[in-house]
Amino acid sequence: MQINKVKGTYDVLPTESYRWHALEEKIHSILKLYNIKEMRTPIMEYSEVFHRQSELSDMVTKETYDFDDRGERRLTLRPEGTAGVIRSYVENKLYASQELEKVYYIGPNFRYERPQKGRYRQFYQFGVEAIGTVDPALDAEMIMLAYDFIKRLGLKGVSVKINSLGDDESRRAYQEALTKHFEPHHDTLCDDCKARLIKNPLRILDCKIDQKHEAVMHAPTPQDYLNEFSRAYFNQVLAHLNASQIKYQISPKLVRGLDYYSHTVFEIEADIEGFGAQNVLGGGGRYQKLVSELGGPELGGIGFACGMERLLLALDAENIELAKADQLDAYVIVMGEELRITGSKILFDLRQSNLIADMNYTKKAFKGQLKQALRLDAKYLIILGEEEFKKGVVGIKNTKTEIQEEVPLRNITMYIKENGEK
């Protein structure tokens, strides 16, 4: 019986993986410019890392993959990258050696969502976290980095949507205003939102069921409740963005879907053919409580994440190729069973000289081997026949110019290297 992939997952086939490599290469090279190092954390964590009391987002309450391992420990497959990075930051006491720790990560996340185009149950994110300091310049740096990254991919119409939720005091004032605003509408809200009204009214704003509710559409915005400190902080962030001419828009309704944010929240968009509202490529914000909630000191951080499938879809839609699939330098065609040993020695020598090379292993006749070589788009064919073998030579054919020459066995790699792209 054939077993299919798990619903909401996908395979990266061998013909597609180079696109992932190219995107990952791009991430590594750009992050190097920002002096930020990669961090790798496990895909599973103890459930408490994500299931914290204050976290009421749908993602954490409804979409996580939770399970008991054989030792009856409660584990969760990570639904996002930040909490695991903070867990590691605290556990490894990274705050003790550095006032500010900046890291990036690339890896799979798991959410039990309704799968659709560009939305999966296992999906990859690339993200950045800057932990340890509260400084508007740092908020601006993260936004500039996200903006720069998307621009460097070659996407057009890149812009930032930004908002501020303010500090604790501002957030509290805003939450009270939201509660007051929604209370008269209690009976017409969905059941989840009725509970949210008591626990965290902010989450009503991104409810999928109530998004068209009158009261949601006309809810107060955080901007109206920023205290003086929070407003000054936000203005500083904007001043940094202005200085570097980053294209942004203040988006008063932007609150982001996680409960740990305060102060700056943002999203990066680009104009992508046929993407419509799906043009958000990444987002993030500042968090003030997360480090202490995970057992660390009272330190704030800021980060963002981009969905990598969505980035690849965007590049595809815009016909941007970050790289081409590797082309074979040479394909060895062997005409005769007894020459196969020589064929495999030639192949090994080619690879020793860092040439990309292959040959046929299914004992096809000449025509079949030729067809395969052309399908693989090999630059050179190395043809080893009885006659040639007796003379100690091979025929080397350039598939573009169709010029074929006889080359002594010992000079094969030299010939290909010297003729290169010709």
Q: Tell me the β-bridge partners of 405.
A: 396
Q: Does 307 bind ligand AMP (CB under 6 A)?
A: yes
Contacts within 8 Å (CB) and 24+ apart, 321-325:
322/19, 322/22, 322/23, 322/25, 322/26, 322/153, 322/154, 323/18, 323/19, 323/21, 323/22, 323/25, 324/18, 325/15, 325/18
Q: Which stretch binds ligand AMP (CB under 6 A): 65-73, 295-303, 305-313, 335-343?
A: 305-313
Closest contact distance (angstroms) between CB of 342 and ligand AMP is 50
| Token digits of residue 293 | 């909630």
CB 268 within 8 A of CB 66: no
Comparison of 143 and 396: residue with beta carbon closer to ligand AMP: 143
DSSP β-ladder status, 330-334 and 380-384: parallel
Task: Say if CB 266 and CB 140 are below 8 A apart.
Answer: no
CA separation for the pair 216, 133 (Å, rounded): 34
- Looking at the Cβ atoms of 196 and 397, the one nearer to ligand AMP is 196
Closer Cβ to ligand AMP, 282 or 300, answer by number: 282
* Site mask for ligand AMP (CB under 6 A), range 375-404, x = bound: ------------------------------
Q: Rule CB under 6 A: is residue 43 a binding residue for ligand AMP?
A: no
C-beta closer to ligand AMP: residue 306 or 350: 306
129 binds ligand AMP (CB under 6 A): no
At closest approach, how far in Å is the CB of 410 from ligand AMP?
Answer: 53
Find the shortest distance in angstroms from Cβ 258 to ligand AMP.
Answer: 7
Binding mask 326-355 for ligand AMP (x = CB under 6 A): ------------------------------
Q: Looking at 310, 315, 384, 389, which residue binds ligand AMP (CB under 6 A)?
A: 310
125 binds ligand AMP (CB under 6 A): yes
- Name the strand (E) or helix (H) holding 91: helix 82-91
- Give the Cα separation of 333 and 353 in Å (integer): 19
Indicate the pairing of strand 380-384 with strand 357-359. unpaired
> Any contact of residue 107 with ligand AMP (CB under 6 A)?
no
Per CB under 6 A, 305 contacts ligand AMP: yes
Is there a contact between 398 and 379 (Cβ–Cβ < 8 Å)? yes
By beta-carbon proximity to ligand AMP, the closer residue of 152 and 185 is 152
Which residues of the chain form contacts with ligand AMP (CB under 6 A)?
80, 111, 113, 118-120, 123, 125, 257, 280, 282-283, 305-307, 309-310
